[in-house]
Homo-oligomer: A and B are copies of this chain.
Amino acid sequence: MAVNPDIQKERQSATFDTEKLTEVVYGGKKMVRRRRYLQNIIFEDKYLNSFPPWWNRTRVQQYDTAIKKNVYLNKLMQDLNITEFTEQAFISEAGSGHEGNPLGVHRTMFIPTIEKLGTREQVAKYVEPAKQYKIIGTYAQTEMGHGTFIRGLETTATYDAKTEEFVINSPTVSSIKYWPAALGNTCNHVVLMAQLYSKGKCHGIQAFILQIRSLKDNRLLPGVSAGDIGNKLGFNAQDNGYLKFDNVRIPRESLLSRYAKVERDGTYTAPETPRLAYGTMVFVRALIVGQCAKSLAQACVITTRYSAVRRQTEIRPGGEEPQVIDYQTQQEKIFPLLAAAYAFIFSGNMMLKEYIRINADMEKGILDEMAALHGLAAGLKAFSAEVTSNGIDKLRRACGGHGYSHASGIPKIWTYITPACTYEGENTVMYLQCARYLVKQYAQAARGQKLVGFMSYLNNPVKQRSALNDALKMSDLIEAYEHTAARLIKVAASRLQALVKGGMPIEEARNKCGVPLVTAAKAHTQAYVVKLFSGVVNRPDFDHSVARVLEALCKLFAVYGINERLGEFIQDGFLDGQQADMILNKTLSLLAEIRPNAVALVDAFDYSDKILQSCIGRYDGKVYEALYEYAKTSPLNKEEVHDTYTTTLKPLMEGKLKFDSPAARL
């Protein structure tokens, strides 16, 4: 395969072995090999390659293709006996290309919820058939009027002791379920979250299982209205749907009753609330951090390779046009995000590990650390989603006009990941959740309590001045981040305290401190990521040349972050004006230091062209040839002479176009 010479040159000039970094990313040689093996099966599969390209599919075709592909992928995983989560993720990554999987929620939410909240009988009745796809389900929680605030849901399930049934209703327009995946057409069963009423009393949100469509012909059952919610910015292969109930009666056994129970006579027994939900949320948020990392990494691959191939604007009159990646301004757009992508990969991995460790403790009844991890996970989810969503869009624009075309592949990656800012807990709510934990920890530290783990920096004595100098020691950088985070937590906490002392109810005071609380949570989260990244870089088992290049990225991540939020670091004089100058200089010199390794650093993510689906991010750098081929596939090019010409343009040109005089009514 002939490769564009510019990009070839980049690969030859790298100072480290790309493959070794790939092993760091995926956790070792064996995993890298296994990932490639599994993904190659998908890439070379005839059936999966038989669909027309996604960018030209109608909405209906997008949905249909996604179902067909995913049914096939599920079968394939079954046949290959791939049950391990990581391996399944490799296959999805290779096979479903940012398109959304209408059958995903069935596996990830419907079945697990029944397993977790159902009685043994309920599990037996539903889970096995679900695993065999005899029934297909979704998880119907979000309503038109309520998303993140679950207690506000309005759907009602009212127990009727006479018939031993629950009566399900959507009492208002805003109570209509809206957004659940697979609800539009795919599912025939739902796990339904609704307010349980019995004996005239509301017992809060409980989970029910019920059927909404016929298993014979997929028609809606009586009293149920449901359908797709219409076209969206992205995820159009997914049939996110709506669901409305009009006096739908379901048997008493429909309440998932492992914890919550309603007796025949309507007596409700409160569940012993196990904080299991805590664990699930942490797990899901860890996955989101990892997914953000991947999406950001993919956009970095595309932008970096394109910037190495693209030449533009002679720097010296009459001289050769330089590679765009040689512009300092371009480096400043890409490299800090490349650093962030690595940082989030490591953060996501760490969270999963922590989750597994702490979850095992929880099973034993030890709940201490889960609260800490839960607070951190909320912040990390929001931070990674925010940086990723903004970052990918910045990268798109860094590709100039071509970034706007679906040929670049970036819009697809972005529309796929940007909802991470709002789903599974809206970002601002997440930051505030994190901040609430921080304020508590701050109060404990202020009372002289010793904090554990990463929070222990709140116990540090307050230093006046940073020793940071141009040796740029990571310990000094981490100290600056922790000092600033501690200060901002203090600012928010003191403000809050003052308001409460002044007689304001705590809830209102929290709202009046919303902005400083979010600021504190961001500072804390970023400090955590800097420290974590630095820890990874210093792992002794790394190849020396790999460690060096990761260290440069880690430092860039740290200094760029300071420069972006400079005011916070210098407002109290912890860093001074001269150190701020130094930070800018270091940022620029780190960009130059990373420059020769940029292409190798993105190659190391090991994303096949088949995953990227980008004309401008191709491994071989044949950008312009690919753009030309892309253009030819346009649906507008199917006929050389278009209907619009015959019906409208030709009559216009011949002066024969007639309208009922549009101005007649004037």
Contacts and interface: CB of A to CB of B under 8 A. Distances in A.
Interface stretch (A28-36, A132-140, A536-544): A132-140
Interface in A51-90: 55-56, 58-60, 63-64, 67-68, 71-72, 75-76, 79-80
Contacts of A647: 64, 68
A507 B64 CA distance: 54
A365 interface: no
Interface in A100-159: 132-136, 142, 144-149, 151-152
Interface in A400-442: 400-401, 403-407, 411, 418-419, 421-423, 426-429, 432
Interface stretch (A214-222, A277-285, A454-462): A214-222
A575 B661 CA distance: 64
Given A152-B321, A239-B636, A577-B573, A401 B419 contact: yes
Nearest to A585: B495
Contacts of A239: 636
Interface in A640-656: 640-645, 647-650, 652-653, 655
Contacts of A652: 71, 133
A369 B92 CA distance: 59
B79 A662 contact: yes
10 contacts: A63-B644, A71-B649, A136-B653, A148-B312, A218-B650, A219-B640, A231-B405, A328-B513, A401-B419, A571-B581
Contact of A328 (B407, B514, B563): B514
A423 to B, nearest CB: 7
Given A313-B148, A404-B422, A653 B134 contact: yes
B580 A567 contact: yes
Interface string A562-578: 01011111111100010
Nearest to A506: B316
A657 B74 CA distance: 12
Contact of A185 (B174, B565, B642): B642
A477 interface: no
B632 A227 contact: yes
A147 B514 contact: no
Nearest to A312: B149
A508 to B, nearest CB: 6
A576 to B, nearest CB: 9
Interface string A179-192: 10000111000000
7 closest Cβ contacts across the A-B interface?
Answer: A566-B567, A228-B636, A79-B663, A328-B514, A230-B634, A228-B634, A329-B514
Interface stretch (A252-260, A291-299, A620-628): A620-628
Contact of A515 (B60, B229, B428, B588): B588
Nearest to A129: B653
